[in-house]
């Protein structure tokens, strides 16, 4: 907010501040480029005197046209930069050459969030750069994905793929948390993408969301997941269901969280192959199974047997609630049934 004379408000913080989050809303009419540049200059000068400050998060909302990021280079503890400029679905951030260089100078950044803009992120990751990012959030393009291995420090990614073969994953050995959304597209080599997961041996959390008519499972799925020995949380949501659940046997026995979405009516019908596979994961603490499931006395007994086989299980979701009246034999198990 501007002061009455148009100058930026003098901002002051206690000297013992260790964690600071700042948000600048460029959509406010009072925040023109000149005012915001003066504000960033003032903030940068003041924060340098906070000797205990170890983390700064800066969020900018709106178009950064005319904004100079140069003062931020003095903030050597700036770790988190968030820019949400997207005013409509089809807009992308247009950074000037000077702004690209100013942002590349922020080498202390560990978390870079550019909501929606693949073009700007591609320019920022184009060599040369000195990024040591751990988390990147952006719109995605094939050009940007091919640049990701130039930042091998990345630990967390949320990626939606509509084309390609996932080869960029081979260059990201430090990933620990990956959300991968696979679109049903003829330009996407799904098997190659899944095979590339074998390179991500440090993953502790993996979430696969598979859209359209694509189905997950089969012996090859076990081969893709077997090298992920550090995995502790796995979600597989397959819109079209599973071709098999034997891949569960390839998961590390230390897995603590499992979610399977898109189970068919046969998955829990005795003899319950799905439950037999899950019983081997004796460290499970959280389990969620959803899909179209047929409740019956035998299935209920099988689920109770599963609970008994998993002594550490604290949360069992998707298999509880009440059966909807008049639902017939099959219903969506987001509510599930009582056991």
Instruction: Select from 83, 70, 77, 138 the least CA-distant residue to 109.
Output: 77
45: confidence class by pLDDT, cuts 50, 70, 90: confident
Last residue of a domain, one of 202, 219, 243: 243
Contacts of 91 (CB under 8 A, 6+ apart): 85, 116
In a domain, 145, yes or no: no
Is 302 within 8 Å of 277 (Cβ atoms)? Answer: no
Last residue of a domain, one of 86, 114, 130: 130
321: confidence class by pLDDT, cuts 50, 70, 90: very low
In a domain, 135, yes or no: no
Number of domains into which the chain is organized? 3
Instruction: Select from 83, 97, 78 the least CA-distant residue to 36.
Output: 83
User: For the chain, what is the mean pLDDT?
Assistant: 81
Model confidence pLDDT, tens digit, residues 80-133: 888 876 554 445 677 899 999 999 999 999 999 887 678 889 999 999 999 999
Q: Indicate whether 54 and 125 sit together in one domain.
A: yes
Directed axis angle between helix 97-104 and helix 118-125, to 10°? 60
In a domain, 89, yes or no: yes
Instruction: Please give the pLDDT value at position 91.
Output: 58
Q: Indicate whether 281 and 191 sit together in one domain.
A: no
In a domain, 59, yes or no: yes
Q: Indicate whether 49 and 67 sit together in one domain.
A: yes
Q: Indicate whether 168 and 236 sit together in one domain.
A: yes
Model confidence pLDDT, tens digit, residues 277-286: 888 899 999 9
- Is pLDDT at 337 greater than 50 in this prediction? no
Tokens found for residue 130: 């000195």
Q: Residue with structure tokens 């689920």?
A: 303
In a domain, 24, yes or no: yes
Q: Residue with structure tokens 């969620």?
A: 288
DSSP secondary structure letters along 133-166: -SEEEE---HHHHHHGGG-TT--EEEEEESSB--
Q: Indicate whether 272 and 236 sit together in one domain.
A: no
The pTM of the whole model exceeds 0.95:
no
In a domain, 327, yes or no: yes
- Is pLDDT at 313 greater than 50 in this prediction? yes
Find the domain containing 196 and state its range. Answer: 155-243
Q: Indicate whether 104 and 17 sit together in one domain.
A: yes
In a domain, 167, yes or no: yes
């Amino acid at each position: 907010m501007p002061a009455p004379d148009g100058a930026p408000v003098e901002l002051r913080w206690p000297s013992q501040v260790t964690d600071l989050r700042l948000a600048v809303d460029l959509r406010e009419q009072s925040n023109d480029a000149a005012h915001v540049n003066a504000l960033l200059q003032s903030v940068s000068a003041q924060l340098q005197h906070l000797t205990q400050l170890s983390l700064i998060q800066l969020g900018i909302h709106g178009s950064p046209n005319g904004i100079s990021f140069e003062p931020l280079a003095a903030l050597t503890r700036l770790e988190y930069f968030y820019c949400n400029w997207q005013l409509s679905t089809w807009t992308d951030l247009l950074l000037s050459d000077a702004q690209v260089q100013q942002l590349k100078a922020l080498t202390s950044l560990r978390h870079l969030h550019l909501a929606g803009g693949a073009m700007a992120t591609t320019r920022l990751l184009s060599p040369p750069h000195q990024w040591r990012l751990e988390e990147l959030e952006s719109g995605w393009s094939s050009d940007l994905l091919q640049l990701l291995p130039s930042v091998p420090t990345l630990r967390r990614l949320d990626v939606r793929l509509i084309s390609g073969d996932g080869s960029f994953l081979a260059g990201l050995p430090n990933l620990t948390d990956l959300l991968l959304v696979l679109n049903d597209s003829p330009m996407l080599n799904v098997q190659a993408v899944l095979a590339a997961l074998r390179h991500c041996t440090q993953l502790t959390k993996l979430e696969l969301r598979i859209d359209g008519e694509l189905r997950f499972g089969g012996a090859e799925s076990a081969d893709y997941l077997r090298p992920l020995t550090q995995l502790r949380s796995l979600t597989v949501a397959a819109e079209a269901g599973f071709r098999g659940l034997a891949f569960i046997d390839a998961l590390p026995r230390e897995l603590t969280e499992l979610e399977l979405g898109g189970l068919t009516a046969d998955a829990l019908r005795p003899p319950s192959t799905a439950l037999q596979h899950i019983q081997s994961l004796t460290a499970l603490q959280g389990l969620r199974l959803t899909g179209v499931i047929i409740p019956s006395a035998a299935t209920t007994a099988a689920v109770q047997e599963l609970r008994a086989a998993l002594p550490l299980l604290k949360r069992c979701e998707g298999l509880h609630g009440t059966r909807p009246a008049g639902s017939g034999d099959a219903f969506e198990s987001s509510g599930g049934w009582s056991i």
